[in-house]
Structure 1
Amino acid sequence: MENSLIQADDLLTLWGIIVIVAAMSIVLEQKYSWAGKISGAVIALVSAIILSNTGIIPTASPAYDAVWAFIVPLAIPLLLFHVNFKKIWKESGRMLLIFLISSIGTVAGTILSFFLLKDTIPFLDRIGGMMGASYVGGGVNFAAMTAKFDAPEDLVSATVVADNLMMALVFITLMAIPTFGFFRKTYPHPHVLQVEREAESNGGKTNAENFWKRQDISLKDMAMSLGTAFFLVVVATKIAEFFAGIIPSGEEVGFGWNLLSGLIGDQYLVLTTLTFLALALFPRYFEGINGSQEIGTFLIYLFFVVIGIPASIPLIVQNAPLLLVFVAVIVIVNLTVSLTAGKLLKYDLEEILLVVNANVGGPTTAAAMAIAKGWRELIGPILVVGTIGYVIGNYIGTTLGLWFATMM
């Protein structure tokens, strides 16, 4: 809506609303059991959709652009700082395998959906790359691929509408599956049973509140977290700009050059790769930083608010129905592949559902689900495994998008 109560150039007020909505979502999630079941991410998205559709805030503003340009890149390294390569296989190796299989389900679903709808949805090559990356790693990858493929803004907004609605439906479905007798009979579910046994002894606190308890965080921790994150972002941006400038790209060069340029000339891919390299070389330095997970998670909540803002109701009616079908096919194939592989490989139901959540929404939303459901032993592993999606998601989305472009 162009005639909004708050104008697009009122940056202070808009930033205030973004931060307040994010904070409100986190507080509600930790204070009320109903909000914990929905998850703070969904509350942030829905709140933003309501604010923009009622004309309180505009659907576009430089304030939102700043979140995409600065907040998202900062959140990536902050959320990766405590990933330990040695512990990935020791603590999360089992879940990592089903996560990678689930990611294959996303790729298969994206390819199938693209060929079904490529003649009916414009720019589906770009949308396919964006959603292929998003449904491997989550919203951070969606932001990266949106900036990379430069799809028309109205189509991106419609995709956000479809994606937001699909994410909400997926979360509700995944939260409900453990209550169905069929799945209880078909899959082992030890964490569900444990929570049911402990249901009467949680001390009156929500699971989210129990997980995000007070940490020993100093001013030095905050300085090191943000300073290191900014350093990595700046270096990665300069490296990406350098390679983007010397590697040829465009329609006049072949697929191989475009792929190479898309991979090592992309800010987000270079950033994630550089962060993991730093973690491997200086593990003790990053182990000594507290609070990066909390800061990074809060920044991601700001992103949740902003991606919900362009989701206008008219766009749902005009453009989103077919896009909703497009993302629905991806999710259905992903869930089918994950449940089938999980059954054959004898995975617990909770592990399967969390990796699907991590694919579609990212590690933060998957951890939020684990927290909400009380699956404490799986919170750490899904955060570790889910961050792998940040890395491989952008590579997968770039490859799919460039491949799809040759068939449009």
Structure 2
Amino acid sequence: MSHTLIQPDDTLTLWGIITIWAAASIYLEQRYSWASKVSGAVVALVGAIFLSNFKIIPTESAVYDAVWDIIVPVAIPLLLFHVNIRKLWQEGGKLLLIFLISSIGTVAGTIVSFSLLKDYIPFLDKISAMMSASYIGGSVNFLAMASKFSAPGEMVSAAVVADNLMMAVYIVILMAIPTFAFFRKRYNTPHIDRLEIGAGNKEKTQAEGFWKRKEISLKDISLAIGTAFLLVVVSFKAADFFASVIPSGGHVSFVFHILHGLFGDHYLMLTTLTFVTLAAFPNYFEKIHGSQEFGTFLIYIFFVVIGVPASISLIIKNAPLLLLFVFIIVLINMIISLVVGKLLKVDLEEILLASNANIGGPTTAAAMAIAKGWRDLVGPIIVVGTLGYIIGNYVGTIIGFWFGGMM
């Protein structure tokens, strides 16, 4: 049994806590200026860290798995229903460039961190392969490299704990950066500027001004939720089919590996199918009201769940040096992303999302764009960030073999 107030199998209570805190975070964001500045997403995430580290809720439960498996996939199409397809391609080019630059930051950070700590952390060559692949792609790449290099189970577990805490802290930092005058003065922030202008009423918080009350009907609710589920089911089944028929693994050619990554990935297939459907039936989606609100609330639930596994006690007990290892990688990624992005005159919002997509994956990057109200960047960052799943394994493999010769 879990040594927490709420047990992992108490699903009703856990669902209640997650949704209630997500709702409270939105309320605080729209009611108080301090919460609006840091964003409700950060409030949700930090609150979850508090709940799990004070042993109120468990760090693992089927409820959290359901959020990843159901809530997040349904939220993505809901939040893409408003996307202007033509604008998507215009916005995607710069995002791709800064994402690749941010990926170089991950590689540079891994090299520096490995060089500093290789004499103090066992199996750091294997961990470097896992983390570099993960900090360009995602957890799929992490697990692939752990399997490929036969990393010891206890080191994999410790790396997961360090990664969870680092990711939670880094998302808070990325959320906070746009609130500092230092960055606002030195970078272009067109999406933030439009949001502040659109908020209008000076007596309201920025969040409340953005999320104004809208007309919505029962038909809107049913079509939004029903269409989102339809897209998720069809795209996931299609991705599973292609993954089963397209060869993969170390013995297949580069072309087949790319095709498997493109057509066999759930989220890339979901995003692609959603865009195709949007282009084919624009009038249908224009008439649906409330999809943005539904999707955003689901994403706030996701932010609560992100904070849950960030166990500070486990880090202190099992993985303090690993936390330092991933901290160095993330720090160098952020510095290279911000410095090169500034030199190339990339918007601050795009730089932050690209770095987020590297470290946390396209899902957390899209969630950040939604929470911040950067609507035009939601679709592009999902597409660009998903490409990290494809290149992450190549980077991790190269680093694993390279560093293995130094241990």
| 1:111 matches 2:107 | yes
Q: Does 1:388 align with 2:391?
A: no
1:240-265: CA deviation from partner (whole Å, max 9, x where unpaired): 11111112222333444333222211
Structure 2 equivalent of residue 313 of structure 1: 312
2:349 to 329, 354, 357: 354
Equivalent position amino acid for 2:40 in 1: G
The one-letter code of the counterpart of 2:38 is I
CA contact (8 A) 1:148 1:266 kept: no
Displaced runs of 4 or more, over 6 A: 143-151, 188-199
Residue 311 of structure 1 and its aligned partner are, at CA, apart by 0.2
Task: Give the drift of 1:145.
Answer: 6.2
Q: Is the 8 A contact 2:195 2:210 kept in 1?
A: no
> Do residues 207 (structure 1) and 206 (structure 2) align?
yes
Instruction: Measure, in 2, the Cα distance between the counterparts of 1:197 and 1:308.
Output: 31
Q: 1:4-403 to 2 correspondence within 5 Å?
A: 4-88=4-88, 93=90, 96-117=92-113, 120=124, 122-133=126-137, 142=138, 152=156, 154-176=158-180, 178-179=181-182, 184=185, 202-317=201-316, 318=319, 319-342=322-345, 352-359=347-354, 360=356, 362-366=365-369, 368-369=371-372, 382-403=374-395
Partner-residue secondary structure (3-state), 1:132: coil
Q: CA RMSD in A?
A: 3.1
| C-alpha deviation, 1:266, in angstroms | 1.3
What is the identity percentage for the equivalent residue pairs of Structure 1 and Structure 2? 43
Residues 63-93 of structure 1 show CA distances to partners (whole Å, capped at 9, x for unaligned) of: 111111111111111111111113446xxx4
Corresponding residue number in structure 2 for 1:139: none
Once residues 15 and 204 of structure 2 are traced to their aligned partners in structure 1, the CA distance between those partners, rounded to angstroms, is 31
Shift of residue 231 of structure 1?
A: 0.7
TM-score with structure 1 setting the length? 0.81
Q: Distance in 1 between matches of 2:231 and 2:131?
A: 28
Moved more, 190-199 or 273-282: 190-199
What letter is aligned with 1:18? I
CA contact (8 A) 2:48 2:308 kept: yes
Q: Select between 354-363 and 207-216 the one with higher mean Cα deviation.
A: 354-363
In structure 2, the residue corresponding to 1:362 is in which secondary structure?
A: helix
In 1: Cα distance, 2:262 partner to 2:49 partner: 33
TM-score (norm 2): 0.82
- In structure 2, list runs of 5 or more residues that go unmatched: 119-123, 148-155, 357-363, 401-407
Letter in 1 for 2:12: L
Amino acid at match of 2:343: T
Partner amino acid, structure 1, of 2:178: L
Which residue of the partner structure matches residue 150 of structure 2?
A: none
CA shift, 1:205, in A, is 1.1
Distance 1:305 1:98, change over 3 A: same
On the 8 A contact 2:141/2:393 being kept in 1, the answer is no
3-state SS in 1 of match to 2:111: helix
**Structure 2: distance between partners of 1:363 and 1:245:** 28
Q: Cα distance 1:160–1:312, how it changes in 2: closer, same or farther (>3 A)?
A: same
Q: Tell me how many residue pairs correspond in the alignment.
A: 372
CA offsets per residue over residues 41-67 of structure 1, 9 Å max, x none?
111111111101001111100011111
C-alpha distance in 2, partners of 1:144/1:302?
22
8 A contact 1:240–1:264 mirrored in 2? yes
CA contact (8 A) 2:261 2:389 kept: no
Comparing 282-291 and 55-64, the one that deviates more: 282-291
One-letter amino acid of the structure 2 residue matched with residue 266 of structure 1: D
AA aligned to 2:236 is: T
Conserved? CA contact 2:45–2:168, under 8 Å: yes
Distance of aligned partners of 1:291 and 1:129 in 2 relative to their CA distance in 1, 3 Å threshold: farther
Separation of aligned partners in 2, 1:147 and 1:241: 18
Counterpart of 1:376 in structure 2 is: none
**CA distance change for structure 1 residues 245 and 209 in 2, over 3 Å: closer, same or farther?**
same
CA distance in 1, matches of 2:239, 2:387: 14
